[in-house]
Amino acid sequence: EVQLVESGGGLVQPGRSLRLSCAASGFTFDDYAMHWVRQAPGKGLEWVSGINWNSGSIGYADSVKGRFTISRDNAKNSLYLQMNSLRAEDTALYFCAKALIVVDHYGMGVWGQGTTVTVSS
Amino acid sequence: QSVLTQPPSASGTPGQGVTISCSGSSSNIGSNFVYWYQQLPGTAPKLLIYRNNQRPAGVPDRFSGSKSGTSASLAISGLRSEDEADYYCAAWDDSLSGVVFGGGTKLTVL
């Protein structure tokens, strides 16, 4: 069974850092692009960042560029999101998502259940 | 303000059909594939349509997608109560170099 399990969320003060992890199983992790997508309470979906299979292509939303860093460890079947200089507006449920097919990076075919990040003093 | 524009709400009665629109621009829908997601209350999103009109395995053929120019649509036929959910369109945006989502459409099955 294909599965994505996020962890690392929590309550953090503005300006501090947090590192999210996503453990993947049930598929050949290093074949697929991966993404982080977030959803603020009561709001819609917002793409945060994406990374291709070998980390050779990485992208960020303007709202997090320069503050967040996506990475992956194919040997550990894991995806990460390092979040620095956190702001109140970063408060959201953060989902890890896998591309549906190898040749299409942007269709997110499998999603984790998410991990909640709350930025507050 | 989302880059892709969707109506905030839509509704229909069981058995009816409904269409949800998604409007973009030449830098996103006009030049890239469109994706549609369904998010049931309290759950993670689910991919319904990829590459404009393709259905992943397990998605009923009651769901169909289309694209014309800088707009796209999701059509749902034979509405069921379990279709009540939020629906989002998405596409890659060449100008922003990122994935953009619509603001979402809340579908109510009356």
Inter-chain touch A106–B91, beta carbons under 8 Å: yes
Do the Cβ atoms of A93 and A114 come closer than 8 Å? yes
pLDDT of residue B85: 97
CA-based R_g, chain A, Å: 13
Compute how many other C-beta atoms are within 10 angstroms of the C-beta atom of residue A1: 5
Q: What is the pLDDT along chain B (110 residues), one digit of tens a residue?
A: 899 999 999 999 999 999 999 999 999 999 999 999 999 999 999 999 999 999 999 999 999 999 999 999 999 999 999 999 999 999 999 999 999 999 999 999 99
Helical (H) or strand (E) element with B108: strand B105-109
Chain A contacts in chain B segment 18-77 (CB below 8 A): 32-33, 35, 37, 39, 44-47, 50-51, 56
Inter-chain touch A100–B39, beta carbons under 8 Å: no
Query: How near does any CA of chain B get to the CA of A94, in Å?
Result: 10
